[in-house]
Amino acid sequence: MRLALFQPDIPQNTGTLLRLAACTAVPVDIIEPCGFVWDDRRLRRAGLDYIASTLVTRHTSWQRYRENGHGRLVLLTTHGDTRYCHFTFEPGDTLLLGRESAGVPDEVHAAAAARLVIPMAAGQRSLNVAVAGAMVLGEALRQTDNFPRMQGQDG
């Protein structure tokens, strides 16, 4: 299981997702360009010291990312056609999150093997990208039994 962030805009959200990835032992792909400088203090503040223990691979573009492909690409999008809780995840999936300001372009939508949506109350547009990532990653790890083992426990 992996997380991929497509051209993230907001350093605090990226930091929060990096912290989530560290705590769940999930590698992260950052597809640049980012809407902030990588060493932004807001990124560090949100990610705290967890960022140092996160396996992060930065890709200079969508094309470079595609050259290094990582399993089935599962896009989280408000334009999805499948509820994330009705989807069957696989251990090798990469959960792709779009830009906070614009999502992803059509080319990226087309490349995804699945487009998942989080059901929301009528009239609401979208969740914070870090919240959406946490919800769907949690379900994916639950389904695939890929949560990290807790110290001193069998499961």
* The pLDDT value given to residue 146: 92
For the chain, domains (ranges, CATH) are 2-144 (3.40.1280.10)
What does the DSSP assignment read for 51-74? GGGS-EEEESSHHHHHHT--S-EE
Q: Which residues contact 60 (CB under 8 A, 6 or more apart)?
A: 32
* The pLDDT value given to residue 39: 74
Question: Which of 151, 149, 144 is CA-nearest to residue 2?
Answer: 144
pLDDT tens for each residue of 99-125: 988 899 999 999 999 999 999 999 998
With a cut of 90, say whether residue 50 has pLDDT above it.
no
* The pLDDT value given to residue 151: 66
28 or 153: which carries more pLDDT confidence? 28
pLDDT tens for each residue of 54-102: 888 999 999 999 998 778 999 999 999 999 999 999 999 999 999 988 8
CB 44 within 8 Å of CB 15: yes
Q: Where does the pLDDT of residue 42 fall: very low under 50, low under 70, confident under 90, or very high at 90 and above?
A: low
Q: Where does the pLDDT of residue 45 fall: very low under 50, low under 70, confident under 90, or very high at 90 and above?
A: low
Burial class (CB in 10 A: 0-12, 13-18, 19+), 68: exposed
What does the DSSP assignment read for the chain? -EEEEES---HHHHHHHHHHHHHHT--EEEESPPSS-TT-HHHHHHHGGGGGGS-EEEESSHHHHHHT--S-EEEE-TT-SEEGGGS---TT-EEEE-BTTTB--HHHHHH-SEEEE----TT-----HHHHHHHHHHHHHHHHT-SPPPTT---
Q: Output the pTM of the full model.
A: 0.91
